Amino acid sequence: MVEYHVVSTAVFVIALACGIWTFFILLVQAIGFTQLVRHYSSKPAPAVSSQLKTDDVPHITILRPVKGLEPQLYECLAATFQQEYAKDKLTVYLCIASASDPAYSILQRLLAEYPEFDAKVFVEEEDPNLCGRDGETTNLGPNPKIRNMSRGYREAKGDIIWIIDCNVWVGKGVAGRMVDKLYGIKAGGKRVMPYKFVHLLPLVVDSVGSSVDREMRESLNIKSNSNHQVRSTNSSAYKIASVPDDESSLSTILRTGGGRLEEMFMASSHAKFYTAINTVSVAPCIVGKSNMFRRSHLDHLTSGASPFSPGIDSFSENICEDHLIGNLLWRKKVPGQDKGIRFRNHGLVFGDLAIQPMAGMSMSEYIARRVRWLRVRKWTVILATFVEPGVEPLLCSAYGAFAITTLPWFHSALGIPHTWFALFLVWLFMITSWMTLDSFVYRKLHSGATIELDSNTPSFARTRNEPGRRPLGQWILAWLGRELLALPIWTWAVYGGTTVMWRGKRFRVGLDMRVKEIKSRSVASSHPAKDRKAK
């Protein structure tokens, strides 16, 4: 058997560095796994803030930016109106770019079905600051999501802003529990240190199947046979197409497999690191799916910082606005801190999930989505982006295997030989252990144990008591596919360019984290899956 030996100090130092890195990543995973088991095994306690006297309940303005017909769009948006929170303390602004968007009719339907709420639809094309008689499109930067929400933010009521993407569903007690965390409200009238910013753990559910078709048709009130395709006069309509006849297994994977990979990523690697980083709170780590903060804090910190109005408008020239808003609130003192009032930076509301249903995402769309995410993060969190390949199991396990089969201590104490075959066996053992751990995390998050079930809970969130969302063979293939694609996707994203597609438009991301729209190459999406990359 061919052996290799430590022949130089340089090799020893490299092996030691690999061992330290592997230990660090395993420690982070252990923290994330422990927190996920602790907090996502049962329903969270009912919110305290929603049970206070009406005058003591904080007012929330909910902003929901909408673009196109996302899967289960009606159910996701309706969750806003189904919160167990005082109705007169909720203001709901549904924000959309154009009245010709195919989702506009769903927004109107929601207003009609929930007339008791203080709710409005804001159309960007009718925003007087952007397109009115005295408005100019250049009054804001090119960020389409900020432009979409700008008027809703300017006309917000109360101090709390809750931004939820249109393709996200939340349980009925989430609003109250997020306010509890933000304000430090505890049962029995106790108060603890409040937070500047609170958010939820995101989770993707790939809901490919007949339920997607049925629920979307019901949302649109469209009667159709199984071969009909739902279309709109607007080209960005979400398309529901029947499965091609005699489709091969490979074609099916290429056509719909992207959703399974995204589902796997969000319920394994992403969930562990997201939870761990937010537990130790050494740096901001947020995803802009469901975020809550105080308007007064953000306005104070952004006043005079840009040529635009204070608040979210100040980030209209950036494309990673969720991270930048969170990072600003993390780094800067907010009103009151100069007088001794203490705030914690960010708080993850453990137990609750921001669930995104996904349907029909192809492999190419998944790759494009991940590339966009990485290119946006490349200049906002440079160090984290450039070490990312080393946190993935295939490469990290290789680091660990090299350290274990190279450092003398493992040979003398455990008898591990310095051979390439031993390195392969250790690597294989680490990969298998990693995959097993991910399977526990996946099952925990997709068990539905934390979901407050009622008659309004949509099918994609009803996963309680199922033996497993996916057959073992499919799960393993999805896990392996995600991991095998991770390094090629990262390489292309980091070194292959600086342009991204977002909400049907093409942007170039600069070193200063600002974006410029490439208008000459702007593309109007003919399929909502391309728009979904934006969210």
Distance CA 174, CA 170 (A): 7
Q: Choose between 382 and 469: higher pLDDT.
A: 382
The position carrying tokens 């995402």 is: 361
How many other β-carbons are positioned within 10 Å of the β-carbon of residue 444? 18
Write out the two tokens for 405: 């089969």
Three-state secondary-structure class, residue 4:
coil
The proportion of the chain whose per-residue pLDDT surpasses 90, expressed as a percent, equals: 60
Three-state secondary-structure class, residue 30:
helix
Instruction: Note the maximum CA span of the chain.
Output: 81
| pLDDT tens per residue, range 16-54 | 999 999 999 999 999 999 999 999 999 999 999 988 998
What contacts 210, CB < 8 A, 6 or more positions away? none
CA dist 202 → 31, 350, 407 (Å): 18, 11, 39
What contacts 136, CB < 8 A, 6 or more positions away? 130
- The strand pairing partners of 290, in sequence order, are 164
Write out the two tokens for 230: 């739902």
Three-state secondary-structure class, residue 244:
coil
Question: If you compute the radius of gyration of the chain from its CA atoms, what whole number of angstroms results?
Answer: 24
Distance CA 112, CA 106 (A): 10
Distance CA 317, CA 515 (A): 6
Whole-number mean pLDDT of the chain? 85
DSSP characters over 449-482: TT----TT--GGG--TT-S-SS-HHHHHHHHHHH
Three-state secondary-structure class, residue 109:
helix
Report the candidate in 78, 119, 125, 73 with the shortest Cα–Cα distance to residue 99.
125
Using the predicted structure, report yes or no on whether residue 215 has a pLDDT greater than 60. no
Distance CA 377, CA 401 (A): 30
Distance CA 181, CA 173 (A): 13
> Residues 468, 168, 348, CA angle at the centre, nearest 5°?
85
CA dist 489 → 368, 381, 494 (Å): 9, 17, 9
Q: Choose between 6 and 233: higher pLDDT.
A: 6
**Mean pLDDT throughout 157-169?**
96
In the prediction, which pLDDT does 245 show? Answer: 65
The region of weakest confidence among 125-139, 142-156, 280-294 is: 125-139
In the prediction, which pLDDT does 9 show? Answer: 84
In the prediction, which pLDDT does 511 show? Answer: 74
**Mean pLDDT throughout 117-133?**
87
CA dist 396 → 35, 261, 400, 430, 493 (Å): 22, 20, 6, 9, 20
Using the predicted structure, report yes or no on whether residue 522 has a pLDDT greater than 50. no
Relative to beta strand 505-509, strand 515-517 is antiparallel
Distance CA 295, CA 373 (A): 26
Three-state secondary-structure class, residue 517:
strand
The region of weakest confidence among 68-77, 118-127, 206-215, 450-459 is: 206-215
Q: Choose between 527 and 203: higher pLDDT.
A: 203
What contacts 409, CB < 8 A, 6 or more positions away? none
Given a contact cutoff of 8 angstroms between Cβ atoms, the answer to whether 128 and 155 are in contact is no
Long-range (24+ apart) CB contacts under 8 A made by 252-255 are: 253/363, 254/362, 254/363, 254/364, 255/360, 255/362
Task: Tell me which DSSP letter residue 317 carries.
Answer: T
How many other β-carbons are positioned within 10 Å of the β-carbon of residue 119? 19
* Residues recognised as catalytic: 322
In the prediction, which pLDDT does 243 show? Answer: 58
Three-state secondary-structure class, residue 488:
helix
Confidence of residue 515 (pLDDT cuts 50, 70, 90): confident
How many other β-carbons are positioned within 10 Å of the β-carbon of residue 436? 9
Q: Residue 346 is inside which H or E element, if any?
A: strand 344-358
Strands (E), 148-270: 160-164, 195-206
Return the exposure string of 295-316: e unless at least 16 CB atoms fall within 10 Å of the residue's CB, then b: bebbbbbbeeeeebbbbbbbbb
**Mean pLDDT throughout 99-121?**
96
In the prediction, which pLDDT does 212 show? Answer: 43
Task: Tell me which DSSP letter residue 45 carries.
Answer: P
The region of weakest confidence among 34-43, 283-292, 334-343, 508-517 is: 508-517
| pLDDT tens per residue, range 234-289 | 333 344 445 566 777 778 788 888 999 999 999 999 999 999 999 999 889 999 89
Using the predicted structure, report yes or no on whether residue 102 has a pLDDT greater than 80. yes
Backbone angles phi, psi at 331, to 5 degrees: -85, -35
What contacts 412, CB < 8 A, 6 or more positions away? none
In the prediction, which pLDDT does 253 show? Answer: 80
Report the candidate in 303, 296, 375, 282 with the shortest Cα–Cα distance to residue 337.
296
CA dist 142 → 24, 199, 271, 516 (Å): 40, 25, 31, 7
In the prediction, which pLDDT does 119 show? Answer: 97
Distance CA 423, CA 402 (A): 6
Distance CA 235, CA 102 (A): 9
Q: How far is CA 256 from the centre of its chain?
A: 20
How many other β-carbons are positioned within 10 Å of the β-carbon of residue 103? 28
In three-state form (DSSP H/G/I as H, E/B as E, the rest C), the secondary structure along 171-190 is: CCCHHHHHHHHHHCECHHHC
Q: Choose between 190 and 378: higher pLDDT.
A: 190
